[in-house]
């Protein structure tokens, strides 16, 4: 634990000295990863799939606010969809417009969750972003996570059905829309989205408890809740879900979230202290858990100390 605490302190000090450089590099990597994911999923326009152009777009994103990055992604997805077919482009524009209305209305500060959710799902780590949002954000983050999952399903559907869409009659717009929406909004997607939302809320509820190791317990229970939803979806709705890969992905997501938590919140539960003080009307009981700072920790042992009376 002291290793992570010391590394966290060094990273914080480095960021304080070079915050602008770190912010710019982070936005470049985030936008670049998003652009490459879109290129791999829907490479229907040669120019928009050019790595040099995507690099230039990512470099421009370094100079713009973080909230602009999902807008760039939406423009790329819509343009690539129109390059495939007008019906696909119209579906992309309508879908993304609805999601942006929800996103900017409820969670405009959850840009990272909205962008990283499809990227995590691309690597099979579906519950990773919900777990992280449960640890650091609020239940409102479902308005960023769930739309991100639907966008990933849309990209995967276009990738899988591109040849079929090209083979259909040019003016058969209704048939193309039915094909896209029918293959995207499946029972599997419903189960996954509900599971991710339940995972996020579970992690948030558990980590808000005063119990020892509550954040770590939240990660475990959040992963179990997600797997439970997949099992119920397969049993009740006969959803097409490949459980072995889901189990491996959930375990990897929980492990990655645990490592991040050691950087975010390295706490020394063994050194907890319990404080008690009073005023004219109340007794106050406070639990103090020291943070890890390098090799040293405040506090020596768990104890219960009475603080001199505090008068209001």
Phi–psi pair at 84, nearest 5 degrees = -80, -50
d(CA 177, CA 164): 12
pLDDT for residue 60 is more than 80: yes
Q: Could you state, in order of their start, the residue ranges of all structural domains in the chain? A: 2-266, 273-306
Using the structure block, give the residue that is written with the tokens 């558990």. 206
CA atoms 291, 294, 300, 305: torsion sign? negative
Give the orientation angle of helix 128-136 with respect to helix 243-264, to 10 degrees: 30
| % residues pLDDT > 90 (the chain) | 52
Task: Identify the H or E element spanning 97.
Answer: helix 86-106
Measure Cα distances from 181 to 87, 140, 153, 184, 205 in Å: 11, 26, 10, 5, 34
Using an 8 Å Cβ cutoff, are 54 and 32 in contact?
A: yes
What is the pLDDT at residue 205? 95
Buried b or exposed e, range 202-240, using 16+ CB within 10 angstroms: bbbebbeeeeeeebbebbbbbbebbbebbeebbeeeebe
Which of 94-103, 138-147, 154-163, 243-252 is least confident? Answer: 94-103
pLDDT bracket for residue 8 (50, 70, 90):
low
pLDDT one-digit tens code per residue, 190-234:
999 999 999 999 999 998 887 778 889 999 999 999 999 999 988
Tell me what the pLDDT averaged over the chain comes to.
85
The whole-number average pLDDT for the span 170-187 is: 89
d(CA 38, CA 76): 8
What is the pLDDT at residue 298? 46
Q: 92 burial class (0-12, 13-18, 19+ CB within 10 angstroms)? A: buried
- Residues whose CB is less than 8 angstroms from the CB of residue 303 and which lie 6 or more positions away in sequence, other chains included: 273, 274
d(CA 177, CA 88): 7
The whole-number average pLDDT for the span 302-312 is: 49
d(CA 72, CA 53): 13
Using an 8 Å Cβ cutoff, are 271 and 298 in contact?
A: yes
pLDDT one-digit tens code per residue, 65-74:
988 999 999 9
Side-chain-side CA neighbours of residue 264 (13 Å)? 14
């Amino acid at each position: 634990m002291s290793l992570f605490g010391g590394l966290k302190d060094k990273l914080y000090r480095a960021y304080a000295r070079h915050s602008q450089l770190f912010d710019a590099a982070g936005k470049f990597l985030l936008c670049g990863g998003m652009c490459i994911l879109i290129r791999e999923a829907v490479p229907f326009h040669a120019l928009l799939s050019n790595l040099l152009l995507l690099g230039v777009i990512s470099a421009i994103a370094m100079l713009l606010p973080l909230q602009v990055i999902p807008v760039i992604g939406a423009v790329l997805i819509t343009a690539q969809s129109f390059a495939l077919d007008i019906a696909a482009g119209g579906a992309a524009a309508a879908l993304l417009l609805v999601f942006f209305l929800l996103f900017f209305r409820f969670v405009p500060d959850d840009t990272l969750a909205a962008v990283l959710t499809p990227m995590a799902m691309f690597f099979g780590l579906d519950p990773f972003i919900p777990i992280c949002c449960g640890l650091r954000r609020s239940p409102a983050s479902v308005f960023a996570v769930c739309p991100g999952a639907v966008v990933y399903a849309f990209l995967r559907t276009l990738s899988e059905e591109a040849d079929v869409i090209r083979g259909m009659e040019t003016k058969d717009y209704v048939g193309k829309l039915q094909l896209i929406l029918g293959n995207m909004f499946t029972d599997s997607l419903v189960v996954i989205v509900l599971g991710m939302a339940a995972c996020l809320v579970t992690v948030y509820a558990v980590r808000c408890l005063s119990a020892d190791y509550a954040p770590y317990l939240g990660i475990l229970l959040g992963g179990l809740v997600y797997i439970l939803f997949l099992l119920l979806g397969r049993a009740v709705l006969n959803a097409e879900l490949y459980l072995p890969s889901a189990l491996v992905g959930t375990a990897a997501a929980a492990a990655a979230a645990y490592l991040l938590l050691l950087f975010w919140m390295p706490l020394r539960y063994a050194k907890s202290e319990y404080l008690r003080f009073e005023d004219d009307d109340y007794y106050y009981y406070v639990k103090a858990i020291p943070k890890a700072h390098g090799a040293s920790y405040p506090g020596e042992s768990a104890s219960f100390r009475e603080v001199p009376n505090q008068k209001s």
